[in-house]
Amino acid sequence: MEFRFTDEQKMIRETAESFLQDVSTSEAVRKAMATDTGYDTELWQRICTELCFQAITIPEQHGGMGLGYVELAAVLEQMGRVLLCAPFYSTVCLGVNALLIAGTEAQQAEYLPQIVEGSLTATLAYTGAAAAKHGGDWGANAVTATYNKSGDNFVLNGTLRYVIDGHTADLLIIAARAENSQGENGIALFAVPANTAGVACRWTPTMDQTRHQADVILNNVSVPTSALMNNEGTAWSSLHKIISLAKIAVAAEQMGGAQEILDRTVAFMQERVQFGRSIASFQAIKHKAADMMLKCEVSRSAVYYAACVAQEALQVDGDKTLAAELHEAAAMAKGYCSDSFFFNAGSAIQLYGGVGFTWEYDVHLYFKRAKNTELFLGNSAYQRELVAQMLLDA
């Protein structure tokens, strides 16, 4: 088994690193996060036209690059390093995955080419308010919006929370359940344009200013049967796979952020002088830096193992053993990388000293991103519980 990047994967990673280091500087991030959209629309168009990374996993038949999840993880790692403010995660890791896994041929033919062109952004909306509570369930029980049949249409109602880029997305992939259904039963996915009558998207501030979220309110939203993405009432297996892929994607970003924090902290420690010598020479600080490095290396292994599993799972549909491995690998990567990113960001603040949490330094932005991504899709304790359930039920 080959555990090294191919030449093509190296090129993609190096291209992403070079481009993002130039365009997603500290100044650019701070400017973008203060806008209403939460990102620089011109930069997003540059990513779409110059790099075409939004098309990385879209099949060639729809105009995409037709690459896999390892290539996507390599790009996400670099985006995590620079705290990129762009609708990439929402569109590619949520919207595209949902269309590829659950979308009909007509939906894929309509929406995927628009994403390739850079003219359409998308996101996933599936959770109710209870998901983010301590010990909250981000699985099937998080789906609280409802749908019912009305003639030839479906009518959707409910409030969906924690929707990444929900206030700017053109297309919403909405999970809803049949009235009076519970658990994994009765769930359906719908592809709903954000400008559909009855849909209201409201930006909600969070601690992470570099990635905006929104509430999506559905008030008697009537959609045609062509909006239904999968068999009515049996979409949980598809949604479960979409969620697991989203976990791997956010873990790749977290891994990149943890590495960037380590690199910045080591550089700071080598320059900072106390008692006549660099603080990097103090034993206790060396130990802390070594712990941070270990977190990065184990995170990298977890992410790219999960990405390899994802790549295989996307190529082989209906393999229950492979699907179970995907869910397990995703939970392990998300759980460990959440801890690693938060540990490194918190350690950096300590090692920087009093300036670590001042507005002028970027460390606090990584700390906030670390905490916010830990909570998104379930914190590390929730991921460990999922792994334990899969291990003991096997």
CA dihedral 8, 325, 142, 89 (to 10 degrees): -10
Phi and psi at 11, nearest 5°, equal -65, -45
Q: Are residues 145 and 290 in the same domain?
A: no
Q: Are residues 128 and 205 in the same domain?
A: yes
* pLDDT < 70 positions in the chain: 1-2, 132-135, 281, 394
Q: Are residues 96 and 27 in the same domain?
A: yes
pLDDT for the residue 135: 59
Q: Are residues 53 and 138 in the same domain?
A: no
pLDDT for the residue 271: 78
Q: Are residues 275 and 182 in the same domain?
A: no
Domain boundary among 57, 90, 120: 120
Domain CATH for 244: 1.20.140.10
Domain boundary among 205, 227, 249: 227
Domain boundary among 227, 244, 267: 227
* Residue 369, in any domain of the structure: yes
* Residue 60, in any domain of the structure: yes
Give 73-114 pLDDT, tens digit per residue: 999 999 999 999 999 999 999 999 999 999 999 999 999 999
Q: Are residues 269 and 382 in the same domain?
A: yes
In three-state secondary structure terms, 195 is: coil
**CB-CB contact of 43 with 54 (8 Å):** no
* Residue 211, in any domain of the structure: yes
Q: Are residues 268 and 208 in the same domain?
A: no
CA distance 292 to 286: 10
* Residue 1, in any domain of the structure: no
Domain CATH for 194: 2.40.110.10
pLDDT for the residue 1: 54
Range of the domain at 194: 124-227
CA distance 189 to 271: 53
Q: Are residues 295 and 376 in the same domain?
A: yes
- A 10 A CB-CB count for 162 gives 24
* Residue 358, in any domain of the structure: yes
* Residue 131, in any domain of the structure: yes
Spatial neighbors of 273 by CB under 8 A, at least 6 apart, are 279
For residues 89-118, b (16+ Cβ closer than 10 Å) or e, as one string? bbbbbbbbbbbbbbbeeebbebbbbbbbeb
Spatial neighbors of 174 by CB under 8 A, at least 6 apart, are 125, 126, 145, 156, 160, 189, 190, 192, 216, 218
Give 207-249 pLDDT, tens digit per residue: 999 999 999 999 999 999 999 998 787 899 999 999 999 999 9
In three-state secondary structure terms, 230 is: coil
- Tell me which residue of 281, 150, 164 sits closest to 222, measured CA to CA: 150
Q: Are residues 279 and 350 in the same domain?
A: yes
Domain CATH for 39: 1.10.540.10
**CB-CB contact of 250 with 244 (8 Å):** no
Q: Are residues 131 and 27 in the same domain?
A: no
* Residue 288, in any domain of the structure: yes
pTM for the structure as a whole: 0.95
Domain count, the chain: 3
| Secondary structure letter of residue 179 according to DSSP | T
| Start-end of H helices in the chain | 7-23, 26-33, 41-46, 69-82, 88, 97-102, 105-117, 236-271, 283-315, 320-352, 363-375, 380-393
Q: Are residues 89 and 198 in the same domain?
A: no
pLDDT for the residue 320: 85
Q: Are residues 110 and 147 in the same domain?
A: no
* HEC assignment per residue over 122-169: EEEECECHHHHCCCCCCCHHHCCCEEEEECCEEEEEEEEEEEECCCCC
pLDDT for the residue 281: 67
* Residue 19, in any domain of the structure: yes
CA distance 134 to 343: 20
